Amino acid sequence: MLLEVNSSSKKGTLAALLWHGSHRALSRLGLSVFVCVVMIAGTSRAQEKPREAPAHLLSSLRGKDRSERREAANQLGMLRARGALRALVEALSDRDASVREAAAFALGQISDPAATGLLIPLLADPEPDVRASTAFALGMIADRKATEALSFAIGDKDAEVRATAIFALGLMRDEAAVDELIEALDDPSFDVRYDAVWALGQIGEPDAEEPLQGSLVTLDLLRIDDSQRQAFRQAVEYSLESLRTETHARATEKGGSGRPRRATGVVRENRYTPPPSRPLGIHKSVRPATTDAALRARASGPVKLRVLVGADGKAVRVYVTRRAGYGLDRRAVEAAVQYRYSPELEGGLPQTTWTDMEVKF
């Protein structure tokens, strides 16, 4: 049975919550597609210096032309220019919705928790695109003060907003959201279901195993194409693997069957040879699904990403450096988080490394 999303009660409470929060916050701060992932040459050490905000972009952000204001906000977000925080916060009140949307997205790329309280009120913006990008930004910032507001956003009347709020809670690994995410597996929207599957995999709650398996049965009730169906099944498989791994880790912590192993492994004849070095690579990839919005608009990528890969071969942070819109930015980030990387080795030791990726839809 498909879940009917009743957003009225949540939305009314959310509007009151956000209106009250906005005053306090402001007072403190005066396609059926071919999917391809390309590793762009060049990696860097984990530490990156904050970038300054170019004066011409700050000027354009306050200009008269709305397209210039929107483009300036997007560029500042791609640069992750922390010096633009105040200007972007001011742009959240722009009369043009596309500028508000770009400013919200940019603040998510900068990822300064100081913007959390200023972004939350935009979850009640009249325009769904603004609400969706705000949810995306809050997920990127990962400030847990936003979890309650994002929970309300799961009841939004717009499917893209619901899906992005779920994505944000998944990025934050909010265990308190598990019950809501399980309910979302029966949402009328394919996008909402897909993001709920992805988010449950990120959280890794064992109670989600049975609902995830059941989501494959109810998937047949949706009218979707074969590529979406295949991507959904792969997402379920990934999430089941993820939460089973998490369950094993928790059992080991509590004195389960795990046993300590020597880091050097089994002694072999070549143990004393010079330790190996190798560049960063990908050893397990996924095929992300396109979104309903992208299918309707016949939109395609690419989405460019900046990814911090940890020494354990998992993505630690992901930033969008070139947008495609239509929810494809979200799908690209989800894919990058799901990938398993072969971390860079230097002198036999795994390194934490930044790398640039391109996801083509």
Residue 206 lies in a domain: yes
Residue 117 lies in a domain: yes
Quote the domain boundaries for residue 218: 8-47+54-253+277-360
d(CA 134, CA 122): 6
Residue 296 lies in a domain: yes
Give percent of the chain above pLDDT 70: 78
Split at pLDDT 50, 70, 90, the class of 21 is very low
Residue 350 lies in a domain: yes
d(CA 23, CA 67): 28
Query: Which residues are within 8 A (CB) of 30 and not within 5 positions of it... i.e. 6 or more apart?
Result: none
Q: What is the mean pLDDT of the chain?
A: 84
Residue 267 lies in a domain: no
Residue 64 lies in a domain: yes
Split at pLDDT 50, 70, 90, the class of 246 is low
pLDDT in tens, 309-345: 999 999 999 999 999 999 999 999 999 999 999 999 8
CA angle 75-33-31, nearest 5°?
80
Residue 36 lies in a domain: yes
CATH number of residue 181's parent domain: 1.25.10.10
Residue 26 lies in a domain: yes
Domain count, the chain: 1
d(CA 301, CA 94): 27
Least confident of 219-223, 233-237, 250-254, 340-344: 250-254
d(CA 293, CA 162): 13
pLDDT at 33: 47
The predicted model gives 129-150 an average pLDDT of 97
Rg (CA), the chain: 21
